[in-house]
Every structure is written in structure tokens, then in C-alpha cells.
Amino acid sequence: PIIIYEKDNIRFVVMHGEIEEDKIKNIARIYKADIMVTGHTHIRKCEPYFETLMVNPGSPSVPKGDGIPSIAVFEDGEIKFINVNNGNTIERYYL
């Protein structure tokens, strides 16, 4: 399933992301996503892809990559990755 959500003129397209990255990028393009959120890999990332920001919040329970359990918070024109163990901001990106 794909969820499309708009707030403050920002279009979020959200899906689990269990398909190849090229197909995810194509979905982002088709749905004109400003922010494409996926989670399948459990690896935290925030990367530009043309006009879309590709975001994976990582995982609060089974993190991969650096092993820090994390969530992503979209608020007041920024994306923050939060360490769920201590509440600290790991990374911050401004939209």
C-alpha cells in the first residue's frame, strides 16, 4: 500500500519499500512526492533524488547500519532523526 499525505504544501508519499530502489524512485516521480518515506531496509537515510527527498527513518527496534534505534520527525520545515534510547537528535535536515 501507498499513503499520500499533504501538509503545508509538502506531499509525502509513504510505503514500506520492499521493492527495488529504482521502482521506489519511479513511484516518487509518478506521485510527485516532495518527500518519499520508506522503511524496509531499517537503515536511516535522507538523500535528494531530483525534486524528491528520499527518507528512511531507520528502525526503533531492529536498526541496521550504525545500529542506533531511530525515528524520523517531520516538523516546522525540518526532518529530525531521533535516537529512541535517549531522545537526542542524531541528524537534522531543513526542507
What pLDDT score does 95 carry? 86
pLDDT digits (tens, 9 = 90+) for 40-63: 999 999 999 999 999 999 999 999
- Across the range 80-94, mean pLDDT stands at 97
Average of per-residue pLDDT values in the chain: 96
Is the CB of residue 46 less than 8 Å from the CB of residue 91? yes
**Tell me, what CATH number does 42's domain have?**
3.60.21.10
Which are the contacts of 3, defined by CB distance < 8 A and separation ≥ 6?
A: 12, 13, 14, 15
pLDDT > 70: percent of the chain: 100
**Which range marks the domain in which residue 31 is found?**
3-94
Q: Which helix (H) or strand (E) holds 92?
A: strand 89-94
Domains in the chain, number = 1
pLDDT-derived band at 27 (thresholds 50, 70, 90) equals very high
- Across the range 32-41, mean pLDDT stands at 96
Q: Model pTM greater than 0.85?
A: yes
